[in-house]
Amino acid sequence: MPLETVYEPQRFEPHWAQWWLDSGVFRAHLNAPGRVFSLAIPPPNITGSLHIGHMFEYSEIDATIRWHRMRGDNTLWLPGADHAGIATQMLVERQLKAEGLDRRQIGRAEFEKRVWAWKERYGGTIKQQMIRTGTSCDWSRERFTLDPGLSRAVREVFVRLHEKGLIYRGEYMVNWCPRCHTALSDLEVVHDEAPGNLWHIRYPVNGLPRHVVVATTRPETMLGDTAVAINPKDQRYRELHGRTVQLPLMDREIPIILDEIADPEFGSGAVKVTPAHDLNDFECGRRHQLPKVQVIDDTGQMTAEAGAYAGLDRFEARRRVVADLAERGLLEKIEPYTVSLGKCQRCKTPVEPLVSIQWFVKTKPLAEPAIRAVEDGRIRFIPENWAKTYFEWMYNIRDWCISRQLWWGHRIPAWHCQDCVRTTVARETPSACAHCGSVHIQQDPDVLDTWFSSGLWPFSTLGWPDQTEDLKTYYPTSLLITGFDILFFWVARMIMMGLECTGDVPFREVYIHALVRDAERQKMSKTRGNVVDPLEVTEKYGTDAVRMALLQGAAPGTDIVLTEERILSARAFANKIWNAARFIFLKMEWSGVEAWQPAEAAISPDAPLEDRWMFSRLSRCADLTGRAIDRYRYHEAAQTLWQFFWHEFCDWYLEIKKLRFRENSGLTEDWRSTLTVFEAALRLLHPIMPFLTEELWQRLPKAAGRPISIALAPYPESNALALDPVAERDIEVLQEIVTSARNLRADMKADPKQALEALLYSRGSAAEIARHQGEAIEKLANLKLEVRAEAPPPNLQGALRSTTEFDLLLRVPLAQVEIQRKRLAKETGQLDKLIANSLRQLDNQEFLARAPEQVVHSIRQKLAEYQAQLKKSREALAALDT
Ligand SMILES: [Zn+2]
Ligand SMILES: [Zn+2]
């Protein structure tokens, strides 16, 4: 059963992806033995397609999950997707627009149908991509935030919080996107520094021959001013106490109020107050019972309240207001000023602070237990410093605006009565008003913020509010792995909701991973054009290489740099493993192999040195890798495995074993040990490179009682009995001798076909090892070795290499050096001739005119080769002369 010559992951990866799915390898079983390890996926948006950030996150999660599963834990990775309110609605609206339609034209019910149809058609993209890249989720438990079960959980939580007075409806200043036509939470507003102006405007004081100057970055809002505030302690304005000003352009008399909102140190010390269009002014207005005059509407246009400016776009109104003030001599000055401009995260339209009626969650009472859970260690952040960021936010938390003016999402379970104007909040859709019995009720048109349902994800996906077996077994989940960008959007809310609804934490550990960056350490983004498309690189190099490259760079706390070079080198690693396997498959004696058992005897003191060494290294590797994965140190796990597989197993162990294998010898102890190590190494590597390891493992002769997949085979553990420091030291000495000899050969440019005669001097263990392992050393370094267990005599001549650490000196005697010198001299002579020949041909114009281009090209190439060889030979000769 030989292996294909070339490592072609494209040939077998899709096969195993499907096979894992079909054979239920990743399915969690309630009654399975072992400790429970559960994790709910950060649900990707249904609008999503796998990007490199997902691929990185899922590679980390998958490595951890696979490791737990192999350790025999009762392991569940619960997958699913988020309905992604705004994102999905925008996509479908764009589709409608292309058909010349608008959602309001087709109506709410029809629109929702369109979104579901879109979801059926395109919403599964990311799932297919996840399956293809080997994420070992239990797809039988797949959930969607708008599933009936999860929707029921959402209603349950809404009603409960409402009953406890933790959900209320109120007038509030919200960030409004005039384009998306919805309120945005603080977190959905991005702030950009932008060049702007500070306009200083004169407001004439009534009854006094003076004016007061106020400064603003948004002059159009002055049309809605209902007061001017001065600081009660500001001596400059004492004479203005109790007076009024005449609001320019609107000719409205408004009061001068005393309020701390005016900072005597800033500008003139007087500020305009616009309760309808600024959060601080809104609160100041509340303190002084000021009227709210809304001059900008929810589409960003000036309202009738804006008088002469009604109907204008807000930015056009700004220009007109400024021009009109200037014309009336009421503009004191204009100063350039950098403003922090809030924009809609989705569409980048500048947000407009507006007063509206929204639903809120009172977060303080929910935040307190959530803070305690992290303080007392029931939830642990890794890296730890994220806890600080979490606390800072939680201590300053503001009420959470949960209503969105969208059609796609969980509609708020509240019904407004047209007769008594009160609201009925209920789990089941009511037929009449709970207060007056009227049937003239209408459901609130808004839907809930997407993060409301994702905040329930760890328990709603397990069947809550029912006490299902899944919930009892897998909740609290063990771990959450996610990015810091959704620490507040999501992680904090899950903690609050989890504690409130279930009385327990939603997860015990939160590992916050890094960002994937390009070679210039730039965050990958579509606009920068530096995005590595995971599907493209997976197709090109194989999933395993991409996973290896990602995890190798995944040191906690630092961003990971992904380049194509990295993936290429990981592919070379995969290729190395493939070639090692190919050697084993080609050379092994297959008779009697079918029933092979692992070679436990290899760790006996009588076993060959390389076996005692290899099993000791294997045990250390298992120990390091397991601990690294357990501590989210994926880069350490990846690098340990790389070093072990390539530079110990392939470079040394297999090379030594090659000398031991004999033709037609059957399944010798040497073969058994080799197979044992190779099979264990595949299992060690499986969590990081699942496809390659499954492919090779399945093709190994099957030991009795083996599980159907390597994913279910036990993860190798460290074995104290296998640890053999003496063997490790001995192999180190052997490696040193071989390396010294190879360096000597390179110095002399020794003929690769000829063994070099050499002497080894050592008063230490090197002499003994060289005697016992003479055959291996001679073969590996191509030597004829003579060993002298003594200190090297003084004034030694010949080519020398020594290592004091191992007390050894390797010497090629003068006579041998002389032979080398002669060989090199002859070689340089030949090269000189060849070069002269080539040069002559290339000088011959007649020849050049006649010869085909190919021929001339190859002569030039050969000439370059000869010249390079000549240079090396001359250097080697020079080295021999010193
Ligand atoms: Zn928007
Ligand atoms: Zn009523």
Separation between Cα atoms, residue 24 and residue 36, nearest integer Å: 18
Point out the ligand nearest to the CA of residue 423. Answer: 2
Q: Identify the residue with better confidence: 157 or 736.
A: 157
Q: Identify the residue with better confidence: 700 or 808.
A: 700
Q: What is the pLDDT of residue 519?
A: 65
Structure tokens at 279: 């959060």
Q: Identify the residue with better confidence: 606 or 276.
A: 276
How would residue 760 be classed by pLDDT, with cut points 50, 70 and 90?
confident
Question: Which residue spans within 238-298 are E strands per DSSP?
Answer: 244-247, 252-258, 270-273
Cβ proximity of 383 and 509 under 8 Å:
no
Q: What is the CB-side half-sphere exposure of residue 394 using CA atoms within 13 A?
A: 25
Separation between Cα atoms, residue 722 and residue 716, nearest integer Å: 12
Cβ proximity of 777 and 817 under 8 Å:
no
344: CA distance to ligand 1 center in Å?
A: 5
Structure tokens at 429: 């859709």
Q: What is the pLDDT of residue 1?
A: 59
Residue 143 Cα to chain centre, angstroms: 22
How would residue 526 be classed by pLDDT, with cut points 50, 70 and 90?
low
Q: Which of 339-348, 416-425, 526-535, 755-764 has the highest mean pLDDT?
A: 416-425
Separation between Cα atoms, residue 298 and residue 573, nearest integer Å: 58
| One-character DSSP codes across 636-665 | HHHHHHHIIIIIIIIIIIIHHHHHH--TT-
Structure tokens at 354: 């507006």
How would residue 753 be classed by pLDDT, with cut points 50, 70 and 90?
confident
Separation between Cα atoms, residue 711 and residue 715, nearest integer Å: 9
Checking if the pLDDT of 733 tops 80, the result is yes
Residues in the chain: 882
Lowest mean pLDDT among 287-296, 689-698, 813-822: 813-822
Q: How many CB atoms lie within 10 A of CB 668?
A: 14
Q: Which helix (H) or strand (E) holds 204?
A: strand 189-204
Separation between Cα atoms, residue 714 and residue 853, nearest integer Å: 61
Determine the Cα angle at 767 with ends 762 and 773, to 5°.
Answer: 150
Q: Identify the residue with better confidence: 186 or 253.
A: 253
DSSP label of 409: S
271: CA distance to ligand 1 center in Å?
A: 30
Cβ proximity of 800 and 809 under 8 Å:
yes
* Closest to 134 (Cα-Cα) out of 716, 710, 713, 560: 710
Determine the Cα angle at 372 with ends 369 and 374, to 5°.
Answer: 120
Separation between Cα atoms, residue 813 and residue 800, nearest integer Å: 9
Average pLDDT over every residue of 403-412: 92
Checking if the pLDDT of 314 tops 80, the result is yes
Point out the ligand nearest to the CA of residue 417. Answer: 2
pLDDT in tens, 557-590: 677 788 889 999 999 999 999 999 998 887 776 6
Q: Identify the residue with better confidence: 151 or 88.
A: 151
Lowest mean pLDDT among 453-457, 760-764, 863-867: 760-764
Q: Which helix (H) or strand (E) holds 230?
A: strand 227-230
Burial class (CB in 10 A: 0-12, 13-18, 19+), 586: exposed
168: CA distance to ligand 2 center in Å?
A: 18
506: CA distance to ligand 1 center in Å?
A: 32
Separation between Cα atoms, residue 654 and residue 220, nearest integer Å: 79
Q: Where are the alpha helices (DSSP H) in 255-385?
A: 279-287, 314-327, 364-375
How would residue 738 be classed by pLDDT, with cut points 50, 70 and 90?
confident
> Which residues, in sequence order, are bridge partners of residue 173?
355
pLDDT in tens, 52-99: 889 999 999 999 999 999 999 999 999 999 998 888 888 888 888 889
pLDDT in tens, 819-863: 788 888 888 899 999 999 999 988 888 888 888 888 889 999 999
Evaluate the CA torsion angle 583, 14, 145, 348 in order and state its sign: positive
Structure tokens at 310: 């009604």
Point out the ligand nearest to the CA of residue 349. Answer: 1
Average pLDDT over every residue of 198-212: 94
Separation between Cα atoms, residue 548 and residue 496, nearest integer Å: 36
432: CA distance to ligand 2 center in Å?
A: 8
354: CA distance to ligand 1 center in Å?
A: 14
End-to-end CA distance of the chain: 54
Structure tokens at 808: 């050894």
323: CA distance to ligand 1 center in Å?
A: 29
Separation between Cα atoms, residue 50 and residue 37, nearest integer Å: 25
443: CA distance to ligand 2 center in Å?
A: 13
Measure the CA dihedral 868/872/874/875, to 10°: 140
| One-character DSSP codes across 501-515 | HHSS-SEEEEEEE--
Checking if the pLDDT of 307 tops 80, the result is yes
588: CA distance to ligand 1 center in Å?
A: 65
Cβ proximity of 560 and 514 under 8 Å:
yes
On whether the pTM is more than 0.95, the answer is no
How would residue 525 be classed by pLDDT, with cut points 50, 70 and 90?
low
Checking if the pLDDT of 543 tops 60, the result is yes
Residue 297 Cα to chain centre, angstroms: 41
Determine the Cα angle at 235 with ends 231 and 241, to 5°.
Answer: 60
346: CA distance to ligand 1 center in Å?
A: 5
450: CA distance to ligand 1 center in Å?
A: 15
Checking if the pLDDT of 554 tops 90, the result is no
Q: What is the pLDDT of residue 600?
A: 63
Point out the ligand nearest to the CA of residue 342. Answer: 1
Evaluate the CA torsion angle 155, 158, 163, 168 in order and state its sign: negative
Place of tokens 């690769």: 752
What is the average pLDDT value for the chain, to the nearest integer?
90
* Closest to 59 (Cα-Cα) out of 454, 563, 523, 635: 635
166: CA distance to ligand 2 center in Å?
A: 22
Checking if the pLDDT of 804 tops 60, the result is yes
Checking if the pLDDT of 629 tops 90, the result is yes
Q: What is the pLDDT of residue 521?
A: 64
| One-character DSSP codes across 728-761 | HHHHHHHHHHHHHHHHHHHHHT--TTSPEEEEEE
CA separation, residue 562 to residues 482, 483, 522, 565 (Å): 19, 17, 10, 8
Q: What is the pLDDT of residue 272?
A: 96
Measure the CA dihedral 564/565/571/576, to 10°: 180
CA separation, residue 471 to residues 460, 467, 482, 510 (Å): 9, 6, 22, 20
Checking if the pLDDT of 234 tops 80, the result is yes
Percent share of the chain, pLDDT over 70: 95
Separation between Cα atoms, residue 544 and residue 694, nearest integer Å: 11
Gyration radius of the chain's alpha carbons = 38
Separation between Cα atoms, residue 779 and residue 487, nearest integer Å: 58
CA separation, residue 407 to residues 50, 594, 781 (Å): 26, 62, 74
Q: What is the pLDDT of residue 812?
A: 76
Beta-strand pair 414-417/80-81? unpaired
Checking if the pLDDT of 803 tops 80, the result is no
Separation between Cα atoms, residue 334 and residue 266, nearest integer Å: 15
Q: What is the pLDDT of residue 313?
A: 95
Cβ proximity of 624 and 636 under 8 Å:
yes
Q: What is the pLDDT of residue 529?
A: 65
Checking if the pLDDT of 601 tops 60, the result is no
Q: What amino acid occupies position 75?
A: T
Checking if the pLDDT of 806 tops 80, the result is no
Q: How many CB atoms lie within 10 A of CB 804?
A: 7
45: CA distance to ligand 1 center in Å?
A: 18
Separation between Cα atoms, residue 21 and residue 77, nearest integer Å: 13
433: CA distance to ligand 2 center in Å?
A: 5
Residues 6+ apart with CB under 8 A from 796: 809, 811
Q: Report helix, strand or coil for 355.
A: strand
Determine the Cα angle at 420 with ends 416 and 421, to 5°.
Answer: 40
Q: What amino acid occupies position 32?
A: A
Q: What is the pLDDT of residue 187?
A: 67
Average pLDDT over every residue of 255-262: 94
Lowest mean pLDDT among 322-331, 519-528, 704-713, 718-727: 519-528
665: CA distance to ligand 2 center in Å?
A: 92
Cβ proximity of 459 and 475 under 8 Å:
yes
Q: What is the pLDDT of residue 589?
A: 63
403: CA distance to ligand 2 center in Å?
A: 22
